[in-house]
Structure 1
Amino acid sequence: MASLSQLALVLGLSLWSLVLLASPAYSLTCKSQTFKNNKLYSYCLDLPTLSSYLHWTYDSSNSSVSVAFIAAPPDSSGWVSWALNPTGTGMLGAQALVAFKHSNGSMVVETYNINSYDIKQSKLSLDVWDTSAEYTDGAIRLFAKMKVPEKSETVNHVWQVGPITDNSPAKHEMQTANLNAKASLKLTGQTDTSTPSGTDSRTKRKNIHGILNAVSWGLMFPIGAIIARYMRTFQSADPAWFYLHVFCQVSAYAIGVAGWGTGIKLGSESKGVQYTGHRNIGIALFSLATLQLLKIFALFLRPKKEHKYRFYWNIYHHGLGYTILVLGILNVFKGLDILVPEKKWKSAYIIAIAALGVIAVLLEAITWIVVVRRKSSKSTKPYDGFNNGQGRQQPLAI
């Protein structure tokens, strides 16, 4: 009986594996997918995001492309879309085909000429015909033929998935996979899954923005704070620690302003896409750091060490500095979550911050030992007959 049960289990698992392999929704590659009536396409591509696939045949005689787009919607009532963009690299300008299952059970294919973020069903600027769709094993297959600009070798295409509300496509998510669902497509089959040249430039600017801010708010400001807190304890480091502290903070501010400027520029180019938390923290950082820097250049406003208000000035200065420190590190991590770089970059930053944290803990212990010993030495120092070289004798304290 046991052997029969084991055999049944093995057969059951084998059958389930065959079902998964045969299902287009779970196919590992586009090459394993087949179509009804043995329809064939010249080329196919496993798209890099949203578990989507594209099959196409380019007809140079009439400058058209026949496509089959396959993707799994967020749920059984969701929509999938594939589009060509003859004027840009993203959603604006896209000539989109959207397929979904109507509440009456029929499959619907709608066209959307996306020329603004107020998206409405409309006629495409490119001719399209033979549109149809089918729902199979959790995936929607969208079929169509579409005109492309004459003598085009490469086109920009966009794909997407989202929910349905009242039998109409609703807004898709703004996750990284959704935002990166765009690429260039070589019609002759030598496919290019990388983003178009315009997007490459934008990605480079995003990387520059991230590097500038990670170096400034995320590293140089903490280093400047460590210098100010711990080096001042050592008398031999005075006043060098102060100039190093100012150099780090001013340099960090200059680099941070450059990073902040690139962020503002990127935000202005990303209409409809906002990272509110990251943006607000960035604005707060710039404002607080500017205020802190103004104090550095207006040192005459700082009370002298013996002034009764110096204590309150220190609280204000240190409180503002530590606020910038915390917000800066927090925003670097928010930026990493948005940019989603290779894992090694986030790991490298975590290691760098952890190393600074370990150094700070060690210096905290060392400086406390130095301060305690210094106080102990002063309290037990015998009478030497002089007071700081002034030549005036003082009685030995008992």
Structure 2
Amino acid sequence: MTASPKHIPLFFLIFSFFFFSHVHSQSSDSCNSPLNLPNPPRFETSSLHCAIVWSAQSFILRYVQASPNVWNFILSAPNTNAYIAIGFSPNGNMVGSRAIVGWVGADGMADIRKYYLGGRTPDLVRLESPDQGLQVVNSSMIVRSNHIFMAFQLISDRPSTRLIYAVGPAARSLPSPPNFQLSEHRSMISTTLNYATGQFQTQQSPHASLRRSHGLLNMFGWAILMPIGAMVARYMRKWDPIWFYSHAMIQSFAFILGFIGVICGLVLENRIDASVTKHKGIGIFILILGCLQVIAYVARPEKTSKSRKYWNWYHYSVGRTLIFFAAVNVFYGIHLGNAGSGWNAGFAVFLVIIFVISLILELRMCLKK
């Protein structure tokens, strides 16, 4: 029996629908789709529990207790030529946890290693031998289309419920022999998993509020209010003495916010034992410039004084230097804090608006002269 010409388009649409549905199910991964791995791991995978543990990075964890002291795990994620990691933490913190890290290089070579996270810098992350740390057996890395699957068995009566997930930096070298040094992660998340129910909860960092306060105070103080105060002093002089008091009030408020922000940063560094030498150095330099501006305000000479011209040069130069380094350090802080592209874009838009307004006012002032 042959299909009539009028049925051919319908047949083609039905065939295309099932074909592309099959291709999509093979290239994507979800808890509702079958595992169907091209190279199955060396343990049973038919009864695994499944949970999307990190939706932002499409991390999916499958697990099951295979015997009283054996647990099967499969962690899957999109293949971005970066490592993926799962850490078992005693308290929910990264420092002190033990991690299983896997990757597949651009050449297709796969590897999986164990690490002890002794600190927040790469030199404090120690590679562990098979007989150290977590007892992991039957580990393997599997590639299926654009996803990678890290499979392993953990020998433990009860694994830690505090789990940490991380993804490595994109477009950078992966760990390589002989020491397999692990580079700093691009992003991470801390969660709590109930193995019995499969329910998990994202853990808020205990220092998240302090980190947020540090960033916002410095951004608004040094990088937003300071430029606005400088614009008031330069372009509102015809409204004397309103411009002077407005300028002094804005800059004083900005200095107070920035000073508190720097203190928050020093406290945060001490609590999390972070290695942010450059960010800290620039921040202290900005604070010193701010203190110099306060001293200059107190010791400013009279308008009729011969030294007033040189004081103006000093005041303008220090102020502009402060604003420049403040903007640079805000971008650097956003990068260190993994705040995301939204913060970068928002701050960049503010700087562009300030620049355009300043350019227009500067041109008007030049035309009047």
- Is the CA contact 2:222–2:254 (under 8 Å) kept in the aligned structure 1? yes
1:56 CA drift (Å): 1.4
Q: For residues 350 and 324 of structure 2, what CA distance do their matches in structure 1 show? A: 15
Residue of 226, 241, 248 corresponding to 1:246: 248
Kindly indicate whether residue 179 of structure 2 is the aligned counterpart of residue 165 of structure 1.
Answer: no
CA displacement 1:312-344 (0-9 Å, x = unmatched): 121111111111122223333333344454766
Residue of 199, 216, 222 corresponding to 2:227: 222
Q: For residues 321 and 350 of structure 2, what CA distance do their matches in structure 1 show? A: 20
Kindly indicate whether residue 126 of structure 2 is the aligned counterpart of residue 119 of structure 1.
Answer: yes
Q: Secondary structure at the match of 1:135?
A: strand
| Structure 1 pair 287–125 and aligned structure 2 pair: CA distance change class (3 A) | same
Give the number of aligned pairs.
Answer: 341
- Is the CA contact 1:113–1:124 (under 8 Å) kept in the aligned structure 2? no
Q: For residues 178 and 59 of structure 2, what CA distance do their matches in structure 1 show? A: 23
- Is the CA contact 1:47–1:193 (under 8 Å) kept in the aligned structure 2? no
* Matching residue of 2:5: none
* Matching residue of 2:3: none
| Structure 1 residues not aligned, in runs of 5+ | 1-6, 373-398
Kindly indicate whether residue 262 of structure 2 is the aligned counterpart of residue 260 of structure 1.
Answer: yes
Q: Which sits farther off after the overlay, 222-231 or 285-294?
A: 222-231
Kindly indicate whether residue 198 of structure 2 is the aligned counterpart of residue 204 of structure 1.
Answer: no
- Is the CA contact 2:72–2:153 (under 8 Å) kept in the aligned structure 1? yes
- Is the CA contact 1:73–1:140 (under 8 Å) kept in the aligned structure 2? no
1:260 CA drift (Å): 1.3
Kindly indicate whether residue 186 of structure 2 is the aligned counterpart of residue 185 of structure 1.
Answer: no
CA displacement 1:39-60 (0-9 Å, x = unmatched): 221233253455532101258x
Q: For residues 263 and 188 of structure 1, what CA distance do their matches in structure 2 show? A: 40
Q: For residues 112 and 50 of structure 2, what CA distance do their matches in structure 1 show? A: 23
1:21 CA drift (Å): 3.0
Structure 2: which amino acid aligns with 1:263? G
1:353 CA drift (Å): 4.3
Q: Secondary structure at the match of 2:128?
A: coil
* Matching residue of 1:131: 138
Q: Secondary structure at the match of 1:119?
A: strand
* Structural mapping, 1:58-207, within 5 Å: 62=68, 65-71=71-77, 75=81, 80-90=84-94, 92-99=95-102, 110-116=113-119, 117-122=124-129, 123=131, 128=135, 130-137=137-144, 139-147=148-156, 154-161=161-168, 163-166=174-177, 168-175=179-186, 177=187, 180-192=188-200, 194=202, 196-197=203-204, 199=205, 201-207=206-212
Q: For residues 14 and 203 of structure 1, what CA distance do their matches in structure 2 show? A: 47
| Structure 1 pair 315–74 and aligned structure 2 pair: CA distance change class (3 A) | same
- Is the CA contact 1:43–1:189 (under 8 Å) kept in the aligned structure 2? no
| Structure 1 pair 109–247 and aligned structure 2 pair: CA distance change class (3 A) | closer
Q: Secondary structure at the match of 1:31?
A: coil
Q: For residues 109 and 313 of structure 2, what CA distance do their matches in structure 1 show? A: 68
* Overall identity of the aligned pairs, in %: 22
Q: For residues 355 and 111 of structure 2, what CA distance do their matches in structure 1 show? A: 57
Residue of 30, 52, 56 corresponding to 2:59: 52
1:252 CA drift (Å): 0.8
1:30 CA drift (Å): 3.8
- Is the CA contact 1:218–1:329 (under 8 Å) kept in the aligned structure 2? yes
1:288 CA drift (Å): 0.9
* Matching residue of 1:395: none
1:29 CA drift (Å): 2.0
Structure 2: which amino acid aligns with 1:264? L
Q: For residues 112 and 280 of structure 1, what CA distance do their matches in structure 2 show? A: 31
Which structure: larger Rg? Answer: 1
Q: For residues 345 and 102 of structure 2, what CA distance do their matches in structure 1 show? A: 40
Structure 2: which amino acid aligns with 1:164? P
Q: For residues 228 and 263 of structure 2, what CA distance do their matches in structure 1 show? A: 23
Q: For residues 256 and 328 of structure 2, what CA distance do their matches in structure 1 show? A: 19
- Is the CA contact 2:31–2:50 (under 8 Å) kept in the aligned structure 1? no
- Is the CA contact 2:104–2:111 (under 8 Å) kept in the aligned structure 1? yes
| Structure 1 pair 124–62 and aligned structure 2 pair: CA distance change class (3 A) | farther
Q: Which sits farther off after the overlay, 284-293 or 335-344?
A: 335-344
- Is the CA contact 2:117–2:126 (under 8 Å) kept in the aligned structure 1? yes
Q: For residues 168 and 20 of structure 1, what CA distance do their matches in structure 2 show? A: 38
Normalised TM-score (structure 1): 0.69
- Is the CA contact 2:85–2:101 (under 8 Å) kept in the aligned structure 1? yes
* Matching residue of 2:296: 295
Residue of 331, 334, 344 corresponding to 2:332: 334
* Matching residue of 1:21: 25
Structure 2: which amino acid aligns with 1:96? A
Q: For residues 311 and 225 of structure 1, what CA distance do their matches in structure 2 show? A: 18
- Is the CA contact 2:102–2:110 (under 8 Å) kept in the aligned structure 1? yes
Normalised TM-score (structure 2): 0.74
- Is the CA contact 2:103–2:174 (under 8 Å) kept in the aligned structure 1? no
Q: Secondary structure at the match of 1:84?
A: strand
* Matching residue of 1:394: none
| Structure 2 residues not aligned, in runs of 5+ | 1-10
